[in-house]
Amino acid sequence: MSLKFRFALLQTSLLFLILLGVNFFIYYLFIENNSRNETQSIERKAAKLLLQENIIQHPEYWENPFLLKDFLVANELIRLIGPDSTVQKEIYTDETLLQRPAKYIPSTVPTSKLVSTDNGFCLYVQTPIIEDERQIATLEIARKLVILNDNVQVLFLALFYTTLGALVLSIIFGYIYSTLVFNPIHRLAQTMESIQKSGTFKRLEVKSSRSKDEIAQLGHTFNEMIGRLEQHFDQQKQFLADASHELRTPLTIIESYARLLQRWASNDPQLREEAIEAILSESVRLRELTKSLLTIADSDERQRVDWKEFDMRPLLQATAASIQLTFDREVKLQLPDNGSKMKMIGDPEKIKQLLIILLDNAVKYSQKPIQIHAQDEARSIRIAVIDEGIGIDKEDIPRLFDRFYRVDKARSRKNGGVGLGLAIAESIVKLHAGTLSVQSEIGEGTQVEIKLPKG
């Protein structure tokens, strides 16, 4: 059974239960209202018989029903019941009312009883007869409610066919509505199945008329998810292609020089020295490239981060001193003057790696001193690495963090870069829920600013 048919069936079942309750309420209210009116009419008749006609003191009324023609109408029964539940006097125009045995009911007020028989509803009303402040008998007037019985049949048929029509319409319109509701879900399932079989990314067509309902939101969310998966897939393909290209270059060089050594360099010291130097250089490059690839692979795994609270001030000082000593370049570090600790929660080793990447780029493309400006803000730590080097074209800035992207491939190869440093830096910043931005002008230098939250 399909989901839309079950939805229509459930909707019809709920409607049936609601209509059933409403019908019972209407039926009960109709019977109750009519029986109350009939009861009041009979009580008024009993009062006239006891007060005006004094039927108790005139036995001739019981012997000649014609004398009560104004009171005894069709389908009625009038009888006098003694304290021992015996019928002392009775007259009637409908024998079916005699089927209910006489029963004396002690009471000070009139009582009524609506009885359902095979011939319809009958109403029995008993009025106590009081003498010397005690009940000596009961006057019972019964009436077969012919009009009520006819109206009940009409009401029953009306309610039955109305309910039946409502249920049929509910099934039809419920199925149509459920079809409209579940069609987008069906298309979603078909699209997902198609993606699974073909391996290509597809999107749902979301109608503009349904731009604000939940189904449309589901479609938009699905399309956004597919877009992200497609982007991630394309990035992975590009990454594999770029990685293969980058790995193939040093391996080809190593293989070429190794063959050169094997064939010609054994007796030529100069050629042998050149081959060994090239092999060593490319081996080092290959090792650094492999290390960078492993770093990128690890950077997406949050569980490998050693989260702890640490002071950024000594980390900046130690990193700046290390770069200055390693490259013999001046690094100017500007820290807050108050001397307080710059505490934050994160992985100090990865933050140090981030700083080294930024400082290493600044050293490669600038001959002047490097500046580091650090600010301790209320909820974050802001660090800017500034150089006065060759700068970067504005068109290249948006792609700086793409893996293997290099502004000047020849110059980067000469300096040993593989285009992964800033990609690693960006992943570290994202891992710490921070932001990274670049501002640069050709010939004037570059400023890379990172903002890391403290908590």
Q: Within 13 A of 247's CA, how many CA atoms are on the CB side?
A: 11
Kindly state the tokens that stand for 185.
Answer: 């879900």
247 in Cβ contact with 286 (< 8 Å)? yes
Position 117 scores a pLDDT of 86
**Segment (H or E) for 400:** none
Candidates 304, 297, 300; CA nearest to 240 is 297
pLDDT < 70 stretches in the chain: 1-4, 53, 64-70, 207-213, 235, 238-239, 241-243, 245-246, 249, 264-266, 292-305, 403-419, 455
Q: At what angle do helices 214-263 and 269-299 cross, to 10 degrees?
A: 160
Q: What is the C-alpha separation between 330 and 387, in angstroms, rounded?
A: 11
Position 214 scores a pLDDT of 72
Output DSSP code: residue 269: H
Domain boundaries, the chain: 3-154, 301-453
Give the chain's length. Answer: 455
184 in Cβ contact with 218 (< 8 Å)? yes
323 in Cβ contact with 359 (< 8 Å)? yes
Beta bridge partners of 121: 116
Position 370 scores a pLDDT of 93
Please tell me the class of the 3-154 domain. alpha beta
Kindly state the tokens that stand for 68.
Answer: 């009560």
170 in Cβ contact with 11 (< 8 Å)? yes
Output DSSP code: residue 275: H
Kindly state the tokens that stand for 296.
Answer: 């990128």
86 in Cβ contact with 94 (< 8 Å)? no
Model confidence, pTM: 0.46
Q: What is the C-alpha separation between 394 and 306, in angstroms, rounded?
A: 36
CATH of domain 301-453: 3.30.565.10
Kindly state the tokens that stand for 58.
Answer: 């005139």
Position 412 scores a pLDDT of 47
Position 161 scores a pLDDT of 92
Q: What is the C-alpha separation between 133 and 188, in angstroms, rounded?
A: 85
Concatenating the DSSP letter of every residue in 129-166 gives EEETTEEEEEEEEEEE-HHHHHHHHHHHHHHHHHHHHH
Give the Cβ contact number of residue 112 at 10 Å: 17
The dihedral region occupied by 114, where left means phi > 0, alpha psi between -120 and 50, and beta the remainder, is beta
Q: Within 13 A of 363's CA, how many CA atoms are on the CB side?
A: 21
Three-state secondary-structure class, residue 113:
strand
385 in Cβ contact with 448 (< 8 Å)? yes
Kindly state the tokens that stand for 374.
Answer: 């650090």
